[in-house]
A and B are shown apart, each in its own frame.
Chain A
Amino acid sequence: MKHISKLLLIFIAISLAACSAASQPAAFEPGSTLLVSGGEIKKSYSRADLEALPASQADFLDVTYRGVVLSVLLQDAGFDPQQVKAVKAVANDGFTVNYDPAQFLRPDFLVAYAQANGELTDKDGLFRIVLPGAEGKQNVRMLVEVQVIQ
């Protein structure tokens, strides 16, 4: 029986070692564009591109942000938001958050490129998600990609 205990311990140790080695975040190059991708579609947006789309405002933690409603961005990229099953936001450190339709179809779900009274902070990066009322980790900062899952 003690052999089983040892084997279990060894298995867990190896698993955790492998996990810690593997879980180094896959860093993305902090480019100046936001990639919207899914299936055949891949479209990059600069800040100027986003500013050319209809702007909206939303609040998170007492800060008002300016950006594009995600469903508007998806439509512009060539997706039908009603047909999308999920959206994944990817940060430049590899952190990801998945959103279901009840979230990403909200009219106050923004891809923000500025604060209402100024620029985004260094912590925010060039783009960030703003989802009012949701917990902090769902408001992804340093956003580099929006993956669309249909």
Chain B
Amino acid sequence: MKLSTRELATLAVFGALWGLVEASLGSVLKSLNIPLSGVFLAAIGLIIALVGRVFVPKRGSTLFIGVLATLIKLFSLGGVIIGPMVGILTEAILAEIVLSLAGKPRRPALVLAGALGVAWVMLQPFVTGPLLFGRTAFVVWLDLLDRGSQLLGLDVTAAIWIVLALLAIHLAIGGLAGWFSWDIARLLQARQGRSIPQTLES
């Protein structure tokens, strides 16, 4: 990946924006204990990263934004930040893989990248819980069912429905984030008077 100074500066702006959102809004949402706060935070972060990818449509640019955001999250207020840092980085990696495989940015690729990135929010505790926080996967599973049960009003015995519903909500919100990031990128580029590349035409 060879980037010009202008491209590097552009990526730095998007990375800083994602990092600042995580460090500020993330801390507030965590302290308020709002349901699905991680999902909305991931969606906002991925919108920023995906718009950044449209501005610098080169392999590695989404990962670059994610790494910067992760570093900025280090300066976050509040308690344990290793979990969110792993989250930001993994969301960026997933988005990067999808967008790299898709080639030039297109709306469907952004939708898929957003959906997978946000879906990671649901799966991450199963990785970081046992590996970083010494929790058993079983207890992480119970936590997921409890949260889903309270959110959806289903009994915890309807485990499969809880998981499917949560997954659908995560994928839908992520997909929508990808969808909007395409429109936002086009809008921003049009306002900047940039020529919109062929791949950006819907």
Contact = CB atoms under 8 A, between A and B. Distances in A.
Co-complex (A, B): yes
A88 B173 contact: no
B117 interface: no
Given A8-B179, A12-B173, A94-B150, A99 B36 contact: no
Contacts of A101: 136
Interface string A126-150: 0000000001010000000000010
B176 A19 contact: no
A100 B143 CA distance: 11
- Interface residues of B: mostly helix, strand, loop or mixed? helix
Contact of A22 (B151, B168, B169): B151
Nearest to B143: A98
B139 A1 contact: no
Contacts of B146: 88, 96, 98
Contacts of B154: 22
Contacts of A149: 142
Contact of B176 (A5, A23, A98, A100): A5
A141 to B, nearest CB: 14
A35 interface: no
A48 interface: no
Interface in A1-16: 1, 4-5, 8-9, 11-12, 15-16
B176 A9 contact: yes
A96 B80 CA distance: 21
Interface size class of B (residues with CB under 8 A): 20 to 34
A23 B151 contact: yes
Contacts of B35: 19, 23
A15 B169 contact: yes
Interface in A98-143: 98-102, 135, 137
Contact of B138 (A23, A25, A86, A94): A86
A137 B36 contact: no
Nearest to A15: B169
Contacts of B176: 5, 8-9, 12
A1 B83 CA distance: 35
B83 to A, nearest CB: 12
In the A-B complex, the 6 residue pairs with the smallest Cβ-Cβ separation, listed nearest first, are A22-B153, A100-B139, A98-B142, A100-B136, A19-B151, A98-B139
5 contacts: A8-B179, A86-B136, A94-B150, A99-B139, A100-B138
